[in-house]
Amino acid sequence: MSSNYLVMCLEGYSQAWGITGKFSLRTTDQYPTKSGVVGILAACLGVDRGDVKEIGRLASMQMRVYKPSEVFDPVLGRMKKVRTTVGRDYHTIGGNDRQKVPKANGATAKTVITERDYLYGACFVVIFEGEETLIQKCAAALLNPVWPPFLGRKCCIPSRPMFSGVFDTPEKLLEHIKMLIPDNTPYMEDGAGEAGAETITRNDVPVNMAKRRFSSRLVSVWPSVKGALS
């Protein structure tokens, strides 16, 4: 069964990719989570959060994420700088008479305060490798989504089309990626790395999104080195 490659560009004013955040403090990782990007595909396809089989099928695809310092802008017709900063936003819930947050015992709670981190100005290039039919189905859904996709949280709206292409050979994929981003771009990919990469564990593989259940995966984090696009 032949593999195809789906390329996505995740760019927006703000993004948030949480792994370890708690209710009162919602942090963001420096790379998109697999659960977050699979969630984008699921939303575009119209897959329900509780559809364990279809979520698992999407999560089984191999994923690589590039974190570029420059990216090709199709509107400008040239490369542009990517300047990412991290900011913390202050949120309150239930701060008026009409919106009360109930406790488990039925009593009314006081105003709930949360702090949420965001990546501002970030852009990521994501590659999925999978079976041809599934890749083509995801590509069509990105172009005509059932539900609107978000960059981690509902307030994080994409600023450019996410779909960037489908390719049937590694050579065609590499040619496209070299047009999008510089050759010294750091990246993270599924699987334990070889010499020169840091191998870490991330608990971000979706198992049941409705019940917020995840499993772990090993990923390789490759630094900014010449010849990264290979």
Please give the pLDDT value at position 113.
82
Q: How confident is the model at residue 99 (pLDDT cuts 50, 70, 90)?
A: low
Pick the more confident residue, 97 or 116. 116
Q: How many domains does the chain have?
A: 1
pLDDT of residue 115 exceeding 70: yes
Domain for residue 219, yes or no? no
Average pLDDT over residues 111-129: 93
Instruction: Judge whether 204 lies within some domain.
Output: no
Residue 152 located in a structural domain? yes
Q: Which two tokens stand for residue 128?
A: 């999925």
Whichever domain contains 71, its CATH number is 3.30.70.2660
User: Residue 227 has what pLDDT?
Assistant: 55
Q: Is position 22 within any domain?
A: yes
**Candidate from 30-44, 83-97, 160-174, 185-199 with smallest mean pLDDT:** 83-97
Domain assignment present for 26: yes
Name the least confident of 18-27, 44-53, 196-205, 214-223: 18-27
The helix/strand/coil state of 116 is strand
The pLDDT score that the predictor gives to residue 104 is 65
Per the domain annotation, does 230 fall within a domain?
A: no
- The helix (run of H) or strand (run of E) holding residue 54 is helix 52-59
Please state, in angstroms and rounded to a whole number, the distance separating the CA atoms of residues 212 and 36.
12
- Mean pLDDT over each residue of the chain, to the nearest integer: 90
Which residues touch 146 (CB under 8 Å, ≥6 apart)?
43, 44, 45, 46
In a domain, 44, yes or no: yes
Residue 199 falls inside a structural domain = no
State the residue range of the domain holding 104: 3-183
